[in-house]
Amino acid sequence: MTSDKVKQLNDADFDTAIQSDQPTLVDFWAPWCGPCKAIGPVVEELAGEFAGKVSIAKMNVDDNPVIPGKFGIRAIPTLIVFKNGEVVDQVTGAVGKSQLVELINKAL
Amino acid sequence: MGKDHYELIILGGGPAGLTAGLYASRARIDHVLIEKGAPGGQVLSTDWVDNYPGFPEGLSGFDLMEKMTSHAKRFDVNILTKEVVSIDLNDQVSKKIIFADDSVITCDALIICTGASPNKLGVPGEAALSGKGVSYCGTCDAPFYRNMHVAVIGGGDTAVEEADYLTRFARKVTIIHRRDELRATKILQEVVYANKKIDYIWNSRVIAIEGEKEVERLQLVDNDGNTSSFDVQGVFILIGITPNNALLPLEKLNADKWGFIQTDTETRTVVPGVFAAGDIRSKLMRQVVNACGEGANAVIAAEHYLKSKSS
């Protein structure tokens, strides 16, 4: 399931990672969450398709309490797209690939 | 992946679809199972499954679906991860599956196992506060509600199970139900009635969800028309399911008034060579145990159809 195309972010390196003017999609997830598992392969696929244009990352909310709290994450999976350190938009739940592409396109 | 025609296409990778895949693969039917994400379906979000025979200790829905997926993989079920946008049944001999990227594959027989999704309340504030206190999955989101007071809307099996699960984290859980008694299976009712952290608001419906950045309160109306405001930090909406039928040509498939697909006892729909199994099927009970049975049944019915066509 893990691919080197998907970055694993943590509380310490998150802020630096989202500063870029190249958009970053962050998938906030946890290993025990079913819908997170369901959406996993889609996120991997996006990492391949948007390689070089958008950086695709995941953050495990179990291991990282600070950043999910800062962004008010109260449900997973939540996927947020960032650009220049700012939130562009977000979705919650195991949505389809086309909805995630739509989300990413808002930042491109 | 290159093939563009299969004898059998199975649409959806929940319990019905995975079982259909298993039976199709063992029957050496030329098949593909299409699923938009990882296989598992709604059961992935079920905290605990205590009524699936063969697991006397019970197991989590997540674990059960991992087992079903690896069982399917052991028999080389051909799984394709791709998002379908529509099904074209105009040519009844060659059924067309149209993907989000505009590509098309066809099949002789089709088993629809697209399942169902949680219902929404459809009240003001629900969409805006989704993921900010509004949730449809207790097992996913309960840990975010440590020491908080949350409401569970609904009175069926899922609502009651999730309310009980939520008390592991939340300080207090209030079940809000539009009737004056729970609809859940008796053994589940016994569990929640014994749980001291759960209380009830009967005969009431939610008419609005309010909060600045996160959920702060619900607006309720009781069956006599009296309104009230109720402070909570989260609301879990567990009021039944709606069929995943957006991609299906319902006018051809004879759906019931809720949009579930009607079949005969052998899972045949009104379109020859098209079958429906699992939660998408119009029926009385929606459980893993009958979804699996219908998935298996649909493959045998499909096999009969394929044979009759080729002879």
Are residues B37 and A40, on separate chains, in Cβ contact within 8 Å? yes
> Domain of B218: which CATH number?
3.50.50.60
Mean pLDDT (whole number) for B85-91: 96
What CATH number matches the domain at A7-105, 3.20.20.70, 3.40.30.10, 1.10.490.10, 3.40.50.10900? Answer: 3.40.30.10
Mean pLDDT of chain A: 92
A3 — pLDDT class (breaks 50, 70, 90): low
Does residue A95 sit at the B interface (CB-CB below 8 Å)? no
> Rounded to two decimals, what is the model's pTM?
0.90
Mean pLDDT (whole number) for A70-82: 94
Residues B212 and B262 in one domain: no
Annotated catalytic residue B141: yes
Residues B154 and B210 in one domain: yes
Residues B252 and B213 in one domain: no
Judge whether B129 lies within some domain: no
* CA distance linking residue B288 with residue B295, whole number of Å: 11
pLDDT digits (tens, 9 = 90+) for B228-267: 999 999 999 999 999 999 999 999 999 999 999 999 999 9
Judge whether B127 lies within some domain: no
Are residues A38 and B37, on separate chains, in Cβ contact within 8 Å? yes
Residue span of the structural domain in which B37 resides: 5-118+241-310
Number of structural domains in chain B = 2
| pLDDT in the model for residue B207 | 98
A1 has pLDDT over 50: no
Residues B222 and B290 in one domain: no
The alpha-carbon gap from A103 to the nearest alpha carbon of chain B, in Å, equals 15
From B237, B267, B284, the end of a domain falls on B237
Judge whether B123 lies within some domain: no
Residues B210 and B277 in one domain: no
From B181, B212, B237, the end of a domain falls on B237
Annotated catalytic residue within B47, B108, B141, B157: B141
Annotated catalytic residue A23: no
Interface with B, mutate which of A37, A43, A62, A74 (most B CBs under 10 A): A74
Mean pLDDT (whole number) for B208-233: 97
Q: Which residue of A has its CA nearest to B140?
A: A33
Mean pLDDT of chain B: 96
pLDDT digits (tens, 9 = 90+) for B9-28: 999 999 999 999 999 999 99
Residues B105 and B11 in one domain: yes
Residues B146 and B77 in one domain: no
Residue with tokens 């009651």: B160
The alpha-carbon gap from B12 to the nearest alpha carbon of chain A, in Å, equals 12
Mean pLDDT (whole number) for B137-151: 94
- Residue-range domain boundaries for chain A: 7-105
B1 has pLDDT over 90: no
Residues B157 and B224 in one domain: yes
Q: Which residues of B touch A (CB under 8 A)?
A: 36-38, 40, 43-46, 61-62, 65, 81, 83, 85, 100, 130-137, 139-141, 143-145, 213-214, 234
Judge whether B36 lies within some domain: yes
Does residue A41 sit at the B interface (CB-CB below 8 Å)? yes
